[in-house]
């Protein structure tokens, strides 16, 4: 699936901002006998040219084989014997002093298991392990940076960000999302959560002052070739009205991208609702086509 997403992300962030396709691989039970069990996720990593990459914060220990090989090739057998067993019993810092703090993980991560502890489980279907988000956030941000998760679900990103002393904003359409954040904050961090929770529709501030929406009628008539955007019937300009696709009560703006022409009937059916309502009503046949033509 990720190839579709890659094209979309290229369009949003720019192809040159692409840094890595990270494979998060895991194991788990599977019932399929018709193809290989699907046991990996793709993480698409984008960033500006000089964006943060804290490789030292995500180093992981070398495996025993690598250590033994390095000892041999670098002639360190005088320091400790070539047997990997001699590492046992040494403290982590002793090993680190000998061989460095570990290596930067490759672009495939097989060292983060899917949720194993019952304690971490919330019952949310697509829940990701905290360790996965810890690595992503540690690598790509610094303390007090802002982390945004626009589909925060069961709040794993928020928890990891809070732990790592980042600021964070989580957005989710689920009504229970805010409760879940509060619950997990208490459970994982033992803190009294005092975040701000908003359910009002945010106002766009990036558009500046827009001309009155009705001034676009002529242009829209050209765009739509004189057809109503609901029933698709052709009308004279005076029988079409300018409609907000996303109603203003739902955060829709006067920007021409949010405007369309509807005939009187379609406009009255749609009212303050979204297009999906109008389309459903029209498809249901509960219409009087040609009305006011």
For Zn ion, the binding residues (CB under 5 A) are 228, 230-231, 263, 266
DSSP class of 27: -
Q: At what angle do helices 130-140 and 156-163 cross, to 10 degrees?
A: 50
Q: How far is the CB of 243 from Zn ion (least distance, A)?
A: 10
Q: How far is the CB of 229 from Zn ion (least distance, A)?
A: 7
d(CA 85, CA 97): 17
d(CA 13, CA 49): 12
Output 170 or 230, the one with its CB closest to Zn ion: 230
Residue 137 structure tokens: 């956030």
Q: How far is the CB of 228 from Zn ion (least distance, A)?
A: 3
Output 198 or 288, the one with its CB closest to Zn ion: 288
Residue 149 structure tokens: 């998760």
Output 7 or 279, the one with its CB closest to Zn ion: 279
Output 156 or 260, the one with its CB closest to Zn ion: 260
Q: How far is the CB of 293 from Zn ion (least distance, A)?
A: 9
DSSP class of 179: H
Q: How far is the CB of 241 from Zn ion (least distance, A)?
A: 10
Output 151 or 277, the one with its CB closest to Zn ion: 277
Q: How far is the CB of 284 from Zn ion (least distance, A)?
A: 15
Length of the chain: 293
d(CA 67, CA 85): 11
Q: Which SS3 state, helix, strand or coil, does residue 46 take?
A: strand
Output 214 or 289, the one with its CB closest to Zn ion: 289
d(CA 233, CA 227): 5
Q: How far is the CB of 232 from Zn ion (least distance, A)?
A: 7
Residue 128 structure tokens: 């990701």
Residue 170 vs residues 117, 147, 182, 249: alpha-carbon distances, Å: 24, 8, 12, 23
d(CA 45, CA 43): 6
d(CA 46, CA 203): 27
Q: Which SS3 state, helix, strand or coil, does residue 85 take?
A: helix
Output 230 or 252, the one with its CB closest to Zn ion: 230
Residue 231 vs residues 238, 269, 271, 279, 285: alpha-carbon distances, Å: 17, 11, 15, 8, 11
Q: How far is the CB of 227 from Zn ion (least distance, A)?
A: 8
Q: Which SS3 state, helix, strand or coil, does residue 97 take?
A: helix
Output 152 or 240, the one with its CB closest to Zn ion: 240
């Amino acid at each position: 699936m990720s190839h579709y997403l890659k094209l979309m992300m290229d369009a949003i962030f720019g192809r040159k901002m692409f840094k890595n396709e990270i494979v998060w691989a895991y194991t788990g039970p599977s019932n399929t006998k018709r193809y290989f069990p699907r046991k990996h996720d793709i993480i698409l990593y984008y960033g500006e040219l000089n964006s943060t990459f804290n490789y030292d914060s995500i180093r992981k220990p070398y495996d025993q084989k690598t250590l033994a090989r390095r000892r041999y090739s670098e002639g360190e057998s005088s320091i400790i014997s070539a047997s990997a067993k001699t590492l046992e019993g040494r403290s982590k810092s002793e090993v680190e002093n000998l061989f460095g703090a570990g290596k930067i993980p490759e672009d495939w991560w097989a060292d983060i298991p899917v949720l194993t502890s019952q304690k971490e489980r919330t019952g949310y279907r697509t829940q990701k392990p905290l360790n996965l988000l810890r690595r992503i956030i540690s690598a790509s941000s610094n303390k007090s940076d802002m982390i945004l998760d626009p589909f925060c679900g069961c709040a794993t990103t928020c928890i990891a960000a809070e732990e790592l002393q980042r600021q964070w904003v989580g957005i989710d359409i689920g009504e229970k999302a805010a409760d879940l954040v509060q619950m997990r904050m208490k459970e994982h961090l033992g803190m009294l959560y005092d975040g701000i929770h908003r359910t009002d529709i945010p106002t766009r501030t990036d558009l500046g002052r827009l001309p009155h929406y009705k001034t676009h009628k002529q242009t829209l008539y050209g765009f739509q070739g004189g057809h109503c955007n609901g029933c698709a019937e052709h009308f004279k300009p005076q029988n079409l009205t300018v409609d907000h696709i996303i109603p203003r009560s739902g955060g829709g703006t006067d920007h021409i991208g949010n405007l369309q022409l509807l005939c009187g009937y379609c406009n009255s059916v749609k009212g303050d609702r979204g297009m999906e309502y109008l389309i459903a009503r029209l498809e249901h046949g509960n219409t009087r086509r040609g009305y006011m033509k």
